[in-house]
Structure 1
Amino acid sequence: MGIAEAEQFVRLVRDHPEESVFAGGCSEVDIAEAERRLGVAFPESYKLFLRELGDCDMAGDEFYGIVRREGQLLGAVTETLDLRGSAGLPAHLVAFRPDGMGGYFVLDTRRVNPDGEAPVYVWGSGGNSPAELGYVGADFGTVALELALSE
C-alpha cells in the first residue's frame, strides 16, 4: 500500500496537463540532501513522488516536493524548516501540503511501518493546538491520490 497509489497519483498529474503543473523529477542526490537537512528519512511513496514529479500543483493545490533553484532546495524543505522555526512544527514531521484551514498535511517520519511508509496527519488545523495531530491516512501515496481525486 502506498507505492501503487503514488504511481496512480503521478499518472493522474501527468495525464491532466490542463489542471496540473509539475517541476520534473528530482535526483537521488537532492532527495538525500533534503533528508539530511530535515533530519528525517522520507517514506517510499513520497520518494517516488519526488523522483517522478519533484513538486506539483494539481487543480490549484500544491503538493510540496523538492525543487532546486539557484543552489537551494525549495518546497517541502523550506516550508518544513519555516514551520519548525515559526510555528513549532516537531522535527519528525514533514509538511507536504496546506490543508486550506491554516494547517498542513504532514508525514510522521517517526512512525514508519515495515513497508517504509509513514502515516499522514493534519497538524495545526482550524484553530486546534499545533501539538494536536488529526490522522488522515496510512501513507503519502494513498492520501495524495485521495486529495487529488476529491478536487
Structure 2
Amino acid sequence: MRTIAVEAAESVIDLIYSNEDTANHADGCREQLIDRAEHEMGLRFPPSYRRLIEEFGTWEAAPTEFPGLYQTPAGGDSLLGTVAYTLEDREALRLPHHLMVVMHDDVWGVVVLDTSRPDRDGECPVYAWNPGVLDGGLMEKIADNFGIFALNECRQAIGN
C-alpha cells in the first residue's frame, strides 16, 4: 500500500537520482541486513525509512547526510548509520529505547523517530531530541513521518 510517507520517500529517490551531480548514495540494503539491523536495535524501521534504506542504504543531498544503514570494509560486519548511532546514543546519552536515531545534525542535533507512536500506517513522528534535559530529554516535533522529513530536507539542500 502506498501512503503519503512512502510517496514522499519515492520522491526523495527521484530527487537524488535526478541530482547526482550534488547528491550521493550507496547501493541499498538487502532484506537480511535490514532484518539484522532491526533485531540489533530492538526496533522496526517505519515503511518510508525502510524504502529509502532498501534503495540507497545511505545517501546525502549535500550538506545533509542521511546515515541510513551501511557497512564498510574497515568496519567489517558492524552495522553503521542508524544502528550505530542508536546503540551509541543509548549508551553515551541515555537515549530512551523507543527512539531511533536517523541523523546527527548541526541544526536539529539528534534527529529521532519515536517508535512508541506509530500511526495506522506504521510511520513514526520525527523529533529533534535534546539529550541534555533530564528524564528522557526534550523533544521538538519536526515532521509527522520520515518520508516527509527526508523530502523537505533534500529539497532544501538541493534547492527544489
Pairwise same-fold verdict (TM > 0.5): yes
Larger Rg computed on CA atoms:
2
Distance 1:123 1:32, change over 3 A: same
Give the 3-state SS of the residue equivalent to 1:112 in structure 2. Answer: coil
CA distance in 1, matches of 2:29, 2:114: 22
Q: 1:11 maps to which residue? A: 14
CA distance in 2, matches of 1:134, 1:62: 20
State the identity %.
Answer: 34
CA distance in 2, matches of 1:142, 1:101: 18
| 1:124 maps to 2:130 | yes
| 1:142 maps to 2:148 | yes
User: Shift in Å at residue 68 of structure 1?
Assistant: 2.1
User: Shift in Å at residue 102 of structure 1?
Assistant: 6.7
Contact 2:110 2:130 in 1 (8 A): yes
From 25, 30, 38, give the equivalent of 2:28. 25
Q: 1:98 maps to which residue? A: 104
Q: What TM-score comes out, normalization by structure 2 length?
A: 0.88
Contact 1:122 1:133 in 2 (8 A): yes
| 1:44 maps to 2:47 | yes
What is the aligned residue count? 149
For 2:91, the aligned partner's letter is: G
User: Shift in Å at residue 60 of structure 1?
Assistant: 2.0
Q: 1:68 maps to which residue? A: 71
Moved over 3 A (4+): none
- Where structure 1 has 5 or more consecutive residues not aligned to the other structure, the ranges are none
User: Shift in Å at residue 4 of structure 1?
Assistant: 0.2
RMSD over equivalenced CA pairs, Å: 1.5
Contact 1:119 1:140 in 2 (8 A): yes
